[in-house]
Amino acid sequence: MSELANAGTLRVGNCSGFYGDRLSAMREMLEGGELDVLTGDYLAELTMLILGRDRMADPSAGYARTFLAQLRDCLRLALDRGVRIVANAGGVNPAGLVAAIRELGPAKVALVRGDDLTARAGALGLGSPLGAHAYLGAFGIARALAGGADIVVTGRVTDASLVVGPAIAHFGWGRTDLDALAGATVAGHVIECGTQATGGNYPFFTEIADLVRPGFPIAELHPDGSSVITKHPGTAGAVTVGTVTAQLVYEVDDARYAGPDVTTRLDTVSLRQAGPDRVEITGVRGEAPPPDLKVSCTSIGGYRNEMTVVLTGLDIEAKADLFRRQFEDARGKAEPAEVTWHLARVDTVDAPTQQRASALLTVVARDADEKVAGRAFTNPAVEVALASYPGFFSTTPPGRAHPYGVFTAGYVPQGVVAHEVVHDDGTVEPVGPPALTLALEPLPGPAPGPAPGDPGPVVRLPLGTIAGARSGDKGGNANVGLWVRDDAAYPWLAALITEDTVRELLPEAAALPVRITRLPGIRAVNVVIEGLLGQGVAYQARFDPQAKGLGEWLRSRHVDIPVSLLPVPEEHP
């Protein structure tokens, strides 16, 4: 590794937060400044389904081809600079990716394998999914780097493991160095989604001077597991306590962030602005990991069809009712297993444009039979076109049904997974499970303190006036992390956000279980809404299937905010 590593600091950068991220990012990171390791996260629940289907059609496929294109451009540069690359771009065919990389040039390539449990799924009680992939930990990556690999290719590992593995290899941590492992896990979680840590998807984005092409993040890791999050000098975006908090609360469950190697206590994280574009992470504590590994199980759930018709001007509700009754009558006996309707009243009164006078009515059908979700859905929609409400037209013509995916989470004992490293010379090194595990117990954090006394005058404004939010998906559940930037505002936020308040502000959650976790150390409250996303992103249960905009919807809802907590307007001479 570089001289920086020998000085006690390990600089780990990220050049990909998902399959499809900025193609030039690998070169930008390699040329932009000093690095020891460059990571890339290419996998998500939906990506595993896409790659699984790719491999069904072509056995040589199943990995992130964009990563191979990046290496084709940058491999020589990485080798010359002594930067080692760790990526989960192997997807469902990591061995295929390793073979393809070896055709590019003389680099030492190691493979981390054992995540693919598809052939054993039935025997392990996971059913018969299209793919079953366990989330492996970081020690296989560490062994690969210790063995001299220039490039480490993995299949399904936890996202943070891409950073934790290099730290283990560099600092020599063992299984019992739980606090250090937890600290590196937090750093890995912060940089895993690329530019989401440097201002991307940031709720206070108007405060960032240049967000056109934000730089990718870097974690400077120290021997005790503490870190500094930064980016290359001169790149756009920003690294602040706010941008780091936003990513820290992204797609988490409660105060215990479970992983294969350590359970990280998010309620122990401390953040500090340590300089321009430098945020220090300290104090993180770790506990023994759970005895089971999470398994991503992806399947084809059936076939899906969708049509959206436009309702313009007057009598919107009556027009929607007429089309629905006509559509159901024309469908006759061809009854899909599931039909849902959604009317989006995006119209305005006395609108100055036709688009602003229009509402959208969407009908979605799902069925195990492609024909039932196809022609039996499409034909009725066409038949009523000239016999329906005035001004009838659709956003797109009705078409064929398409298969949809279903994600479920399974669990298997850590010891049943054959976690292995295949080194560049072909030798295979097994990676045993942790000797010490601890059953995972929910940790919602402290209860809110007593409601603040008389807060004085209040004003009804959007919650986002003072609170940030970041939201996302975890299988069929949606997560919204909320935070405030001033200590004085946190008791108010902690008391405001309850299960009942969430259901009131987000009516879609009214009948669903809601879980609240309070993280006072970072002035945050995490909300999990169970089942909001149905059977996962590929199921497309709602308008925003990954809940990416859910946090912004919540921020837009009006609440009573004490005037004393509002930002003081800047005075201008």
State the pLDDT at residue 5. Answer: 43
More confident residue, 300 or 263: 263
Residue 76, judged by CB atoms within 10 A of its CB (0-12, 13-18, 19+), counts as middle
Both 55 and 165 in one domain: the answer is yes
Share of the chain above pLDDT 90, in %: 85
Instruction: Dump pLDDT digits (tens) for 178-197.
Output: 999 999 999 999 999 999 99
Flag whether pLDDT at 333 surpasses 80. no
Both 335 and 480 in one domain: the answer is no
Both 177 and 249 in one domain: the answer is yes
Both 371 and 510 in one domain: the answer is no
Task: Identify whether 38 is part of a domain.
Answer: yes
* Confidence grade of residue 162 (pLDDT, cut at 50, 70, 90): very high
Model confidence, pTM: 0.93
Token pair belonging to 408: 């479920």
Task: Identify whether 427 is part of a domain.
Answer: no
Rounded Cα distance, 490 and 446, in Å: 13
Summary mean pLDDT of the chain: 94
State the pLDDT at residue 474. Answer: 87
Number of domains in the chain: 3
What mean pLDDT is predicted for residues 254-278?
98
Both 20 and 159 in one domain: the answer is yes
Instruction: Dump pLDDT digits (tens) for 439-471.
Output: 999 999 998 877 667 788 999 999 999 999 999
Cβ–Cβ < 8 Å for 425, 464: no
Both 254 and 198 in one domain: the answer is yes
Both 276 and 306 in one domain: the answer is no
State the pLDDT at residue 2. Answer: 38
Both 234 and 170 in one domain: the answer is yes
Both 38 and 186 in one domain: the answer is yes
Both 16 and 68 in one domain: the answer is yes
Phi-psi group of 478: left, alpha or beta (phi > 0 → left; psi -120 to 50 → alpha; rest → beta): beta
Can you say whether the dihedral through the CA atoms of 80, 84, 88, 93 is positive or negative?
Answer: positive
Task: Identify whether 125 is part of a domain.
Answer: no
Per DSSP, the three-state class of 187 is helix
- The range of the structural domain enclosing residue 377 comes to 302-406
State the pLDDT at residue 539. Answer: 82
Share of the chain above pLDDT 70, in %: 98
Flag whether pLDDT at 287 surpasses 70. yes
Task: Identify whether 570 is part of a domain.
Answer: no
Both 341 and 468 in one domain: the answer is no
What mean pLDDT is predicted for residues 415-431?
98
Flag whether pLDDT at 532 surpasses 70. yes
State the pLDDT at residue 396. Answer: 83
Both 268 and 327 in one domain: the answer is no
What mean pLDDT is predicted for residues 366-395?
89
More confident residue, 328 or 182: 182
Task: Identify whether 192 is part of a domain.
Answer: yes
State the pLDDT at residue 486. Answer: 94
State the pLDDT at residue 392. Answer: 95
